[in-house]
Amino acid sequence: MKVDFTRWLPAIAKDSHRKAALSVLGVAAIGGLAFGPTAVAAPVTSGPHEGAVAAIDLATGKATAAPQKQDHDQPVESGLTTGSATGKPPAGKPGRDELIPHGIEGAQSRIPLDNAQLDNARAIVDAAKKTGVGDRGAVIGVATSLQESKLYNLGHLGDANDHDSQGLFQQRPSSGWGTPDEITDPDYAATAFFSALKNVGGWQDLPLTAAAQTVQVSAFPYAYAQWEEQAADIVQQLW
């Protein structure tokens, strides 16, 4: 155990997990990073991650989505996974009523996902199971990360970084979330997020954007809602 969190977030022991912290070179803004306005990546020595550049450009309207070949690991890009048309989830998977119990709020956004994003989504889903927040908690977690980082494990973005925010959830060391190494560990970051979520009274009954905002305290409190449907698709596929 390396760090004591703020009084509303209990200390969490770090589990070993493959790190893939990404720094992004001079690309479009990431909308709605936690605790502050949009940040733009500054030049870094390691060069750009092509998937991150494409995802952020797409999310900010600088590029349009190209058709992607789907494989068995890729969540479907419209609707829920197999069986959604009849309202019946695939065998062993959570259904729409469990994943989206309060209905969709507002217009929905959707981005294509690469293997790095899917690996990070799996880490969030695994942490949801481990912490006991269930599939609904997993949807909140994945939607939050889609908004904060487009499911990329972003490292420090240089002088234009949003304060000291890093990782899948753009958590801040200065706010007590952990060290930079810890918050760029997907398992640690997701576990920290879900431990904070469990301290939100009645979070299961809140709309997704309210539950996420109570944890994140973002300058863009309503932005999380737009990712609820894709997050549900992802969780249903990976659960």
Please state the rounded mean pLDDT for residues 113-142.
Answer: 98
State the pLDDT confidence band at 11, using cuts at 50, 70 and 90: very low
Asked whether residue 28 is assigned to any structural domain, the reply reads no
Asked whether residue 30 is assigned to any structural domain, the reply reads no
Q: Is the dihedral of CA 51, 54, 58, 60 positive or negative?
A: positive
- pLDDT given at position 92: 85
- DSSP E strands in 98-218: the ranges are none
pLDDT in tens, 188-208: 999 999 999 999 999 999 999
pLDDT in tens, 146-185: 999 999 999 987 765 668 899 999 999 999 999 999 999 9
**Token output for 62:** 């600088």
Asked whether residue 26 is assigned to any structural domain, the reply reads no
d(CA 124, CA 221) in angstroms, rounded, equals 21
- Please give the tally of structural domains in the chain: 1
Asked whether residue 25 is assigned to any structural domain, the reply reads no
- pLDDT given at position 2: 31
Mean pLDDT check: name the lowest of 63-72, 88-97, 191-200, 225-234: 63-72
Query: Whole-model pTM?
Result: 0.69
pLDDT in tens, 33-85: 343 322 222 222 223 334 444 444 544 445 544 444 444 444 444 334 444 44
Asked whether residue 22 is assigned to any structural domain, the reply reads no
Asked whether residue 128 is assigned to any structural domain, the reply reads yes
In the block, residue with structure tokens 């000291």 = 164
Residues 6+ apart with CB under 8 A from 71: none
3-state helix, strand, coil in the chain (%, to 5): 40, 5, 55
Please state the rounded mean pLDDT for residues 219-235.
Answer: 95
- pLDDT given at position 180: 95
- pLDDT given at position 66: 46
Asked whether residue 14 is assigned to any structural domain, the reply reads no
- pLDDT given at position 160: 53
Instruction: Quickly list DSSP for 4-19.
Output: PPPTTS---PPPP---
- Of 8-17, 22-31, 78-87, highest mean pLDDT: 78-87
- pLDDT given at position 161: 63
Mean pLDDT check: name the lowest of 11-15, 67-71, 136-140: 11-15
State the pLDDT confidence band at 219, using cuts at 50, 70 and 90: confident
Domain range for residue 177? 50-64+82-238
Higher pLDDT residue, 88 or 160? 88
Count the Cβ atoms, other than its own, within 10 Å of residue 115.
11
d(CA 158, CA 113) in angstroms, rounded, equals 25
In the block, residue with structure tokens 């576990």 = 191
Please state the rounded mean pLDDT for residues 207-217.
Answer: 96
Q: What angle do CA 179, 235, 20 make, to 5 degrees?
A: 35
Asked whether residue 40 is assigned to any structural domain, the reply reads no
**Residue 146 Cα to chain centre, angstroms:** 4
